[in-house]
Amino acid sequence: SPVGSRHCDVCPEGTFAHAEAAVCAPCDAGRFTALAGGSSCEVCSAGTYSLPGSLHCFLCGPGHFAQAGSGDCSPCAVGTFAPMGSERCTACIAGRAAPLGSSLCEECVAGTFSLAMASSCMVCSAGRFAAFVGSSACDPCESGTYAPAGSGACMACDPGKYAPNSSGQCSTCPTGRHASRGSDHCQSCNAGRFSVAGSSEC
């Protein structure tokens, strides 16, 4: 109460006063009091925050976190996540990814992959594939097959074409050579036989 007062006023909720204080002071950010007439403010628990003069603490939203006594919540770094009311963020495992401020890690779709703590999934390069959701790496295509970038499977080369392993496309057999479906090389025509480019037989 002010100097000269004949009685002491009760501090309202969200404020406090020490003994012989002239005025009530608001609770600092990260602290609160829901009681009138308080002499101190309580500390907000981990995963919550408060503004100055608060009556209670608020839960951090999904994708954010806070230590005890925080005045606000911080977003989770890329490659990490947190549900509502979290004290810390958790790292995404390989095969999952999360951008800044994520509440969960998204699984990489087929044809993409990620390492641990990734911000996004990466597309498999040509000649490689990822068949399953949540892949941590891409596998090379076998000989006689190919895959464009971002593939979930390798496809066999058409007749008259061939491919070595890890190919992004099949090559056409030249004149005088041939190949059946799914070939890794072209075979020469026997003596007395011929073929045009891209032939499956002589």
Q: What is the mean pLDDT of residues 32-45?
A: 86
Instruction: Provide the 3-class DSSP secondary structure of residue 157.
Output: coil
Nearest to 198 by CA among 180, 166, 190: 180
Tokens of 54: 């608060």
Mean pLDDT is highest, among 26-40, 118-132, 184-198, for 118-132
Summarize pLDDT for 5-38 with one digit per residue, the tens: 556 677 887 777 776 666 888 889 999 988 887 7
8-state DSSP, 40: S
Q: What is the pTM of this model?
A: 0.77
Angle, vertex CA 37, rays to CA 33 and CA 38, nearest 5: 45
